[in-house]
Every structure is written in C-alpha cells, then in structure tokens.
Amino acid sequence: MNLDVARGALKQYFGYDSFRPMQEEIIEAILNGEDAVVLMPTGGGKSICYQIPAIIRPGMCVVVSPLIALMKDQVEGLKANGIAAAYLNSSQTYEEQAALTEQILLSEIKLLYVSPEKMVSEDFTNILRSVKLNLIAIDEAHCISVWGHDFRPEYHQLKYIRRLFPDIAVVALTATADKLTRKDMVEQLMLNQPRWFVASFDRPNLSLTVQPGQNRLGTIIDFIVERPGQSGIVYCLSKRSTEEIAEKLQRAGIPAAFYHAGMTAKARARTQEDFINDVVPIICATVAFGMGIDKSNVRWVIHYNLPKNIESYYQEIGRAGRDGLPSDTLLFYSFSDVIQQRKFIEEGGQQEIRLAKLERMEEFAQAQICRRRILLNYFGEHVFQNCGNCDICTDPPRWVDGTVPVQKALSAIARMKESAGMQMVIDVLRGSQRKEIIEKEYQLIKTYGAGSDMTVAEWQQCLLQMLQLGLIEIAYDQGHVLKLTPASREVLFEGRKISLARFEPKSKTAKTEKVTPRELAYDHGLFEHLRELRYELALESAVAPYIIFSDATLRDMAAKIPVSEPAMRRISGIGDIKYERYGTIFMKAIRAYADSHSLKPQPQAAQAPIPFSSAKTPRESTYDITYALYQQGLTAAEIAEKRNLGLSTVFSHISYLVAQKRDIDVSPYISEQEVEKVKAAIKAVGSSHLLKTLFDHLGGQIEYSKIRLAIALLEGK
C-alpha cells in the first residue's frame, strides 16, 4: 500500500488535493502497522490521519471518542462524504445497536466510533474479534491521564486494549498534552515503541487582539457589525452577564442567544443546536459552551472577561477557525477582572499555582511584544519571528514620554499615604468632588486635580502600565490599595524618565482593513449567496450546514467561480459524493449569480468545456433526475439503487419535490397518522426548522426522513 493510494482516497472522498505535511508521515507510519502518538492543535487535521488508512485498507477501524456529540458529528461528516461510518453508544436503543452489530459483522462499516466503556465491554470485544480490525484510534487521548486537564475515569479502562487486541496498531490523538500527560498516555495505553508526531501548536489563522476593558459593549457591537453574518462566541465570566449581553446585542439588532450551566438541559441543547445549524450565529456563553462542538465555521471568539489562565484562553479561542480560514479573537483586559479572578482563586485550593497562572495570563494581556510569540513560548515552542497577525505586530505601540503623568500619579499615591485604590487615585488626580474624597480631605493634597487634562480611561491605562513596569504595586491583601516600589522612588526623587505606550485605543478596524496573507481574494457577494444555498440544503437534509460544505470550500468556489464539472471537482473539499449530491445545484447557483453580476470564472476554470452562460439549457438538477425516475414508476429504494445514492438522500429529494408542489404520492412513505404526529410536534416545539428537536420530541420514533417529508407536506399545503 503506498501513499499514492492514500492521496487518491483523499481526493476521492474528501476532495483535498494534498496532505498537510505531518499527515503524510503519520499515515505512512500507520500503514506500516506502527503505533503512533499524534499531537496536533485543534483544526490541524488529526482525523484524516486515521480515516484514510481505515478507508484504504481492508477491515474496520474503531475510534474511541469521549463525547456522543463529537461522535455524531464525525460520523455525519464522514457519511456526507460517502464513507461507511457509524457510532455505537448508550444513547441508542437495543434494536439500533443490534442492527448496527449486524452491519459490523457483515463488514459493511469502515469506521466505527465508540465510547471508552463500550470499547472494553465483553460483548463488544467479542464482536470485534470476529471481524477484521485494521486500526484502533483513541481520540482525545489526554483524557486517560489524571495529570491532564480533562481526565475521564472511563478512559482509564482503555489500558486493557493492548491486552485485548495485541496485534492491532493503536494511534493516540490529542490537541493538548503537557509532558507529564504525554508520558502517562503512552504508558497507560501500553503503546509499543510508538512513533511521535508533534505538530506546531500555532494557529496562524487566528488573529490575536487585546483591548482595555472600557466600553466593551460598544466595541463588541462595532466588531460584529463589521462581520455581518459571521458566527461567533462571546465568553463571559458569569451566567448573569451572558444573559445581559445577549439581550443588549439583541436590542442592537444582533441575533444573539445565551448559554450557561443554569439553563435546563433542553434549553441548552436547543441553543447549541441552533448555533451549530447557523440559526443563531452568535452565542454569549460561559466557558461551559463549546466543549464537544466541532462547528468548523466559528469565525470569531471574544473574551468579555479575562480567562483564568493561558491554557483556557488558548482552548477557547481555538474554537474559532477550525476550517483554517482567517478568524479573529478579541480579549478585553480590565483590572476589575483580575480582582475577580483573584477572588475565585482565594476561594479554592492550589492557590499558589493558580495565582502564578493568572499572572502569566495578565502578562500576556499587558504585553508589548508579539502575542503569538508569548503564547507559543508558554507552550514550549520557541519562536523568534513576529507573527504579523496580532495587534502588537499590526499596530505596534508608539512610545511617548510619560514622565509627567507618572510623577503626578506617584505623588498622589504617596500623599494619600499609600492607602487608596486605583479608582480613588484617579478621582483625586482628576479633581472629583465625591463625598469620600471630601471626608478624607484628599482635596487638600497638592496633586488634587493635577491630572484633569486626562480622561478616566487614559488614567486607567497609565496606571496599568505603571503596574506592568513595576512603578507601583497592588496590595491584594489590603483592599487592593496602590503601593510605591523602589522604582517609583527613582522617578519621584532621582529624576528617572519613563516611556509609556500611547494611551489611545487601538485603531478598531485595523483587523478588517488588513487582508492576511493566507486569505485569497473571493467574491463576497457570491460567498454569501452560496452560504444561503447551503443553509437551505442543510435544513432540507437535517444536517449542520458545515457538514455539507465548509466555509473554506464555499470561499474556494467564490474565488474560482466553477461552472463546469472539471472546475467544480477542482474545488477543495469536493469529493465524489459531494459532487454527486451538490455539484449541479451549486454550479447552477454560481452560474446564475455570475451572469447577473458579470463575474468571470478564473482562467483555470475557463478551460472547462461547458460554455459559461445560463442562457444555455440549464443542467438537470439532482431533484429533476429523481423526479423523472419517479415518474417512470420507480420506488424510492429503486431510485436510490439506480442513482447509487443513500435512501435518505432520495427521501430528501422527494421532500424537496413535495415542497415544490410536484405531483407525488407519498402514501407509500408516510402515513397520515405520522404526518399528524409531526404536525403536533412542530406546534409543541414552535418551529419546523429544528429537526433534531422534533426528532427527540417524537421520542425518536419517526425517522428524520419522514419528519422532513411531513414538514414538506405541511408546508406545501
């Protein structure tokens, strides 16, 4: 088995032209039957590494995965590419499990996703022994270690795998693992001299920006308005603030929802589903949100509050841009957040280490050097080049002489006998007349009002920088009052000069004006148009839009404007099945759009044999073909067979045709009683767009294809 076969499968099934560098080496090792450990960041493309060997070799690959949601997502994605994948877990009925077991025994499944407890259960290992296994993949393998941040007791039992299947190669994959966890992983899984593959943890497509925590809401609204239609997450510290911010965004006309652990399981599931399906593009959430979500087209992540450490921050921003497209992250940094985080730490254990981690987080937020270098260095990757995609690189701080304001502040702090907090110092400098100042007679000190030429925000910036420069300290144990340091005395008494970064806010739109080098030019209007088409198709077939095509694939179309089969097949992400299912309908949409907007296909695409004009007879759509066969008297199953499509795809065609009011007798496929049940469910759920919710509401008793058909019937009426 050589790599050419692997490359062929990559194009045929996934529609990609080439492997990413490390993928090829990993696949080679796996094909050689070696055990392997794969450490790659989120979005790095780990899955392909075991999926391709599983597909091209005889037999089946078992994938152990910790979360049902993740399994489902992977399986849907694979099926959408025409790969025989399935999952087996406790959420399924006995009948479903039995039917699947049958398929496994008939060698009809290439990739089987299972929970860790299933993997080591006796029933299941017996089944596995009677089929040909070609690989065992352990996803999220760090969950096996108590040293990792995500230990799962169920993973512990995976240490028996080696004994149960001594001859099958095992590949362990994870996106997070410190040294201790890595060692533990290999030992517990009893990997046999595994090959190590450690990719860079850099995510160059994520821009990094930090802003002072003033006027956060206004900044967020501007940020979102600059990115119409994009999907994003606003992470907040408290449940209450998720609700408040979502409401304020809604009032500004922005479609946002909130998510936190205080909601009912049902409400949470629904919110998550709406987000995944692009029904609600923006979620304000606590950090509980995002685990187990594979949505590849999250375009931005905002931290309303400072995260507790760099690990969490990196994991949370990592939920943006899994598809590799440019995505933006924005962190607000305020002193009150630091105090809040310190309070949390004081309430719990392991204070020393948690405080140290918080301090590293603060240093990152305050940094005046390339932020990506700080992050990568934190994770042990030493980088000597500036990234060009963080706020420091794109808008470097400008230094000004800050000696005078620093002197004023230090003198005020000294004259208040180092017993005032930051807000009080600012108020005194600006000459506020609030009651507490008068009571304490601070209006009598020499520097009272000496800083009225600067705004509160500018003073906050100034004091923050003084803190970073060690010119002042905060006495956390004395009500957070500001204290002088030896360095402050040098400024006050020895005439030391101080440079400060200018206090003005970063130019807000620096990010969007700039086109990152990786971003290719594409027609934005066409991209939006195709996104809408994708959304409609997703509703029709009850899958998440990104399962149909990733944003990256749509952008490639919007750049190359493919209107012929060869051109369409060259688009990244279009494998055989995707072409078969969606090629024609997308080409039709592209052709129509291009005609009405005078767009020309890219030169390479123009070599295509089919003339570029919608005036020519439009190609038959996949629906038309199904309809023609139906009119010839074929049943759904026969059409599926003839067209080499899944039965559910044919049902989705029939639903579409019914919704288009074409003449179709649906009585063989759905009973009136079932239609009534779906009708009642739609009423109870309040929407006909939430297929999964409807499915669950109906107790799983009516298949998706029937629900879709019923909806089409009801809406067609």
Residue choice 393, 530, 567, 711 for contact with Zn ion (CB under 5 A): 393
From 41-49, 283-291, 397-405, 645-653, give the range in contact with ligand ADP by CB under 6 A: 41-49
Using rule CB under 5 A, residue 370 touches Zn ion: yes
Which of ligand ADP, Zn ion, none does 47 bind, CB closer than 5 to 8 A by kind? ligand ADP
Which of ligand ADP, Zn ion, none does 320 bind, CB closer than 5 to 8 A by kind? none
Eight-class DSSP state of 506: P
How far is residue 435's CA from residue 427's CA, in Å, rounded to a whole number?
11
How far is residue 279's CA from residue 581's CA, in Å, rounded to a whole number?
23
464: tokens are 């923050």
Q: How far is the CB of 42 from ligand ADP (least distance, A)?
A: 4
Q: Answer for the pair 201, 381: CB distance below 8 angstroms, yes or no.
A: yes
Q: How far is the CB of 25 from ligand ADP (least distance, A)?
A: 13
Give the residue at shortest CB distance from ligand ADP: 45
Where would I find the H helices in 207-334? 216-225, 239-251, 265-276, 310-317
Q: Answer for the pair 410, 471: CB distance below 8 angstroms, yes or no.
A: yes
Residue choice 29, 37, 39, 42 for contact with ligand ADP (CB under 6 A): 42
Q: How far is the CB of 45 from Zn ion (least distance, A)?
A: 24
Q: Answer for the pair 64, 288: CB distance below 8 angstroms, yes or no.
A: no
Query: Which 3 state secondary structure label does DSSP give 38?
Result: strand
Kindly tell me which of 174 and 341 has the beta carbon lying closer to ligand ADP.
Answer: 174
Cα distances (angstroms) measured from residue 397 to each of 360, 367, 502: 20, 10, 7
**Residue 342 neighbours by CB distance under 10 Å:** 17
**Residue 436 neighbours by CB distance under 10 Å:** 11
How far is residue 91's CA from residue 505's CA, in Å, rounded to a whole number?
51
Per CB under 6 A, which of residues 539..578 are in contact with ligand ADP? 550, 572
Kindly tell me which of 296 and 334 has the beta carbon lying closer to ligand ADP.
Answer: 296
Kindly tell me which of 48 and 474 has the beta carbon lying closer to ligand ADP.
Answer: 48
Using rule CB under 6 A, residue 40 touches ligand ADP: yes
How far is residue 686's CA from residue 670's CA, in Å, rounded to a whole number?
22
Using rule CB under 6 A, residue 523 touches ligand ADP: no
How wide is the angle at C-alpha 8 spanned by C-alphas 5 and 14, nearest 5°?
A: 130
Using rule CB under 6 A, residue 16 touches ligand ADP: yes
Contacts with Zn ion by CB under 5 A: the residue count is 6
Kindly tell me which of 488 and 550 has the beta carbon lying closer to ligand ADP.
Answer: 550
Q: How far is the CB of 284 from ligand ADP (least distance, A)?
A: 24
Q: How far is the CB of 20 from ligand ADP (least distance, A)?
A: 5
Q: Residue 165 corresponds to which amino acid?
A: F
Residue choice 3, 5, 7, 45 for contact with ligand ADP (CB under 6 A): 45
Which of Zn ion, ligand ADP, none does 387 bind, CB closer than 5 to 8 A by kind? Zn ion
DSSP string, 329-391: EEEEE-HHHHHHHHHHHHHSS-HHHHHHHHHHHHHHHH-SS-HHHHHHHHTT----S--SSBH
Q: How far is the CB of 393 from Zn ion (least distance, A)?
A: 3
Using rule CB under 5 A, residue 387 touches Zn ion: yes
Identify the CA nearest to 75 among candidates 44, 40, 100, 105. Answer: 100
CA dihedral 701, 706, 708, 710 (to 10 degrees): -100
Using rule CB under 6 A, residue 46 touches ligand ADP: yes
Using rule CB under 6 A, residue 503 touches ligand ADP: no
Per CB under 6 A, which of residues 263..302 are in contact with ligand ADP? 296
178: tokens are 């410190």
Residue choice 376, 390, 500, 552 for contact with Zn ion (CB under 5 A): 390
Per CB under 5 A, which of residues 613..632 are in contact with Zn ion? none
Place of tokens 């409401």: 247
Using rule CB under 6 A, residue 181 touches ligand ADP: no
Using rule CB under 6 A, residue 66 touches ligand ADP: no
Q: How far is the CB of 389 from Zn ion (least distance, A)?
A: 6
How wide is the angle at C-alpha 673 spanned by C-alphas 669 and 674, nearest 5°?
A: 55
Kindly tell me which of 576 and 703 has the beta carbon lying closer to ligand ADP.
Answer: 576
Which of ligand ADP, Zn ion, none does 37 bind, CB closer than 5 to 8 A by kind? none
| Helix/strand number for the chain, H first, E second | 36, 17
Which of ligand ADP, Zn ion, none does 176 bind, CB closer than 5 to 8 A by kind? none
How far is residue 523's CA from residue 456's CA, in Å, rounded to a whole number?
43
Exposure class string for 150-172: b at 16+ Cβ within 10 A, else e: bebebbbebeebbeebeebbbbb
Neighbour-count burial of 492, counting CB atoms closer than 10 A to its CB (0-12 exposed, 13-18 middle, 19+ buried): middle
Backbone angles phi, psi at 350, to 5 degrees: 50, 45
Which of Zn ion, ligand ADP, none does 116 bind, CB closer than 5 to 8 A by kind? none
From 319-327, 463-471, 527-535, 692-700, give the range in contact with ligand ADP by CB under 6 A: 319-327
How far is residue 661's CA from residue 305's CA, in Å, rounded to a whole number?
51
Using rule CB under 5 A, residue 61 touches Zn ion: no
From 61-69, 263-271, 389-397, 625-633, give the range in contact with Zn ion by CB under 5 A: 389-397
Using rule CB under 6 A, residue 231 touches ligand ADP: no
Q: What is the maximal distance between C-alpha atoms in the chain?
A: 97
Query: Which 3 state secondary structure label does DSSP give 687?
Result: coil
* H or E stretch at 91: none
Which of Zn ion, ligand ADP, none does 390 bind, CB closer than 5 to 8 A by kind? Zn ion
Per CB under 5 A, which of residues 453..512 are in contact with Zn ion? none
Kindly tell me which of 292 and 397 has the beta carbon lying closer to Zn ion.
Answer: 397
Using rule CB under 6 A, residue 44 touches ligand ADP: yes
Please tell me the total number of residues recorded for the chain in this structure: 717
From 42-50, 366-374, 425-433, 659-667, give the range in contact with ligand ADP by CB under 6 A: 42-50
Which of ligand ADP, Zn ion, none does 393 bind, CB closer than 5 to 8 A by kind? Zn ion
Kindly tell me which of 29 and 710 has the beta carbon lying closer to ligand ADP.
Answer: 29
Q: How far is the CB of 38 from ligand ADP (least distance, A)?
A: 9
Q: Answer for the pair 82, 576: CB distance below 8 angstroms, yes or no.
A: yes
Which of Zn ion, ligand ADP, none does 35 bind, CB closer than 5 to 8 A by kind? none
Residue choice 270, 322, 578, 708 for contact with ligand ADP (CB under 6 A): 322
Which of ligand ADP, Zn ion, none does 42 bind, CB closer than 5 to 8 A by kind? ligand ADP
Using rule CB under 6 A, residue 206 touches ligand ADP: no
- Binding residues for ligand ADP, rule: CB under 6 A, are 16, 19-20, 23, 40, 42-48, 296, 322-324, 550, 572
- Binding residues for Zn ion, rule: CB under 5 A, are 370, 372, 386-387, 390, 393
